[in-house]
């Protein structure tokens, strides 16, 4: 079976999406031949198979203004390459890639497409028509959480498979650095001082500006407390300026992007996830498997993972987050971490993910 894994772009901003595709493709079977195609950007894609960089014009991909006139030419190139690759299955990264590729299915009979949605997506009328026009025996639609799958089913009126991302618990835990080593990598002070962690791309939807404001409200009362944010993105300069304006330099650290992020969670005493919206929020799972308790926004996708063991706060409520930061002490951390791990059930989640991935690619 020849699988073409078609991604919107490469680079660190898309690391979490690539991680999901890598995990899915790892269950394709021993007979699978995998090719990864990056429509934009450069970089290693999924760590499985070969990677081809297309360097397509972004405006043409988005079909804006006169740039849409280039889309037939882009599709011609893709159709020719898919024929040469003798593709059997296309794994497509969300609706952006689907808009470009699905119209080709009429010209390449026998090829099956799988569209995997990673986050909340506003489908317009033409998207719905496109996704509903392809016969179900040639197109499968999947989403990384039950919450997202239910929303897509409502919009599309056709089945959407839940493919809730999970990680191999044993492999993940064995890769974790010790607390001291992880803090050394992040240039955090050694010792027993409390470190609150946050992880994600530095964009508005992650809520890090609000989190810094909430931390500032408690900083004077908890002088040994620190906040470390791992990730990079367009808001880095804005967030750094906010830290400096609040007099928090040395207390709030923007640690940048780390390729070994999955190994670093034990640097934190608590993980804070103040997102305004999420498709899954893989960092919740990673923290829980590292025995780090999680406080997160009151979003359905987090309830799906942590149930009654979750510690949920109103979205963008500075006072509520400041009060929660005040309660972040060592006394309750271990017990909450145990309850959250039981709720997440990593072993069962991993088995379900393995089965669902194989069914998606083979079905």
pLDDT, tens digit, 9 for 90 and up, residues 243-257: 999 999 989 999 999
pLDDT at 306 over 90: yes
pLDDT single digits (tens) 275-293:
999 988 899 999 999 999 9
State the DSSP string of 256-325: E--TTGGG-GGG-SEEEE--S--S--HHHHHHHHTT--EEEES-HHHHHHHGGG-EEE-TT-HHHHHHHH
Q: What is the pLDDT of residue 192?
A: 75
- Fold agreement between 2-163 and 169-344: yes
Residue, of 171 and 65, whose pLDDT is higher: 171
Under the banding of pLDDT at 50, 70 and 90, the label for residue 15 is confident
342's tokens:
């039981």
pLDDT at 46: 64
What gap in Å lies between CA 46 and CA 34, rounded to an integer? 10
Q: Put residue 200 in one of left, alpha, beta given phi > 0 → left and psi -120 to 50 → alpha.
A: left
Please write the tens of the pLDDT for every residue from 63-93. Answer: 776 777 888 889 999 999 999 999 999 999 9
Residue 323: CB atoms within 10 A of its CB come to: 14
Buried b / exposed e along 141-162 (16+ C-beta atoms within 10 A): bbbbbebbbebbbeeeeeebbb
Confidence label for 47 from pLDDT (cuts 50, 70 and 90): low
Nearest to 359 by CA among 159, 107, 133, 195: 159
Residue 316, C-beta contacts closer than 8 angstroms, at least 6 positions apart: 207, 210, 274, 276
Q: What is the mean pLDDT of the chain?
A: 92
Answer whether residue 269 shows pLDDT above 90.
yes
pLDDT surpasses 90 at 304: yes
Please state which CATH number belongs to domain 2-163. 3.40.50.11930
Which of these CATH numbers, 3.40.50.460, 3.30.160.270, 1.10.10.10, 3.40.50.2000, describes 169-344? Answer: 3.40.50.2000
Q: For residue 108, what pLDDT is reported?
A: 92
End-to-end C-alpha distance for the chain, whole angstroms: 12
Could you state, in order of their start, the residue ranges of all structural domains in the chain?
Answer: 2-163, 169-344
How many percent of the chain have pLDDT more than 70?
98
Angle at Cα 298 formed by Cα 142 and Cα 250, nearest 5°? 105
What tokens appear for 266 in the block?
């034990």
Distance (Å, rounded) from C-alpha 105 to C-alpha 265? 43
Give this prediction's pTM: 0.88
Q: Helix 15-25 vs helix 282-289: angle between axes, to the nearest 10 degrees? A: 70
């Amino acid at each position: 079976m020849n699988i073409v894994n078609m991604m919107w772009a490469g680079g660190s901003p898309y690391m979490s999406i690539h991680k999901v595709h890598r995990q899915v493709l790892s269950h394709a079977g021993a007979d699978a031949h995998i090719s990864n195609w990056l429509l934009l950007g450069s970089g290693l894609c999924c760590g499985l198979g070969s990677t081809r960089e297309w360097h397509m014009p972004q405006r043409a991909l988005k079909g804006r203004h006169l740039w849409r006139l280039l889309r037939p030419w882009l599709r011609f190139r893709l159709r020719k390459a898919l024929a040469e690759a003798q593709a059997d299955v296309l794994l497509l990264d969300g609706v952006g890639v689907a808009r470009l590729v699905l119209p080709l299915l009429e010209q390449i009979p026998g090829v099956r497409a799988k569209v995997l949605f990673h986050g909340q997506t506003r489908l317009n009328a033409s998207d719905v028509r496109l996704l509903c026009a392809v016969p179900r025996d040639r197109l499968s639609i999947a989403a990384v959480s039950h919450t997202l799958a239910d929303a897509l089913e409502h919009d599309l009126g056709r089945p959407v498979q839940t493919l809730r991302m999970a990680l191999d618990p044993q492999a993940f835990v064995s890769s974790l650095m010790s607390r001291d080593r992880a803090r050394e990598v992040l240039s955090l002070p050694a010792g027993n001082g409390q470190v609150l962690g946050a992880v994600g791309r530095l964009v508005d939807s992650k809520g890090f500006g609000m989190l810094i404001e909430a931390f500032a409200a408690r900083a004077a009362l908890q002088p040994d407390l620190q906040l470390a944010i791992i990730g990079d993105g367009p808001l880095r300069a804005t967030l750094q300026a906010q830290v400096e304006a609040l007099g928090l330099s040395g207390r709030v650290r923007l640690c940048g992007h780390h390729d070994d992020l999955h190994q670093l969670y034990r640097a934190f005493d608590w993980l804070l996830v103040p997102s305004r919206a999420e498709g899954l929020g893989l960092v919740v799972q990673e923290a829980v498997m590292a025995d780090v308790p999680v406080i997160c926004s009151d979003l359905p996708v987090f309830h799906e993972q942590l149930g009654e063991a979750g510690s949920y706060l109103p979205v963008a409520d500075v006072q509520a987050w400041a009060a929660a930061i005040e309660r972040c002490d060592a006394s309750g951390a271990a017990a909450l971490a145990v309850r959250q791990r039981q709720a997440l059930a990593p072993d069962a989640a991993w088995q379900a993910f393995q089965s669902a991935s194989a069914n998606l690619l083979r079905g």
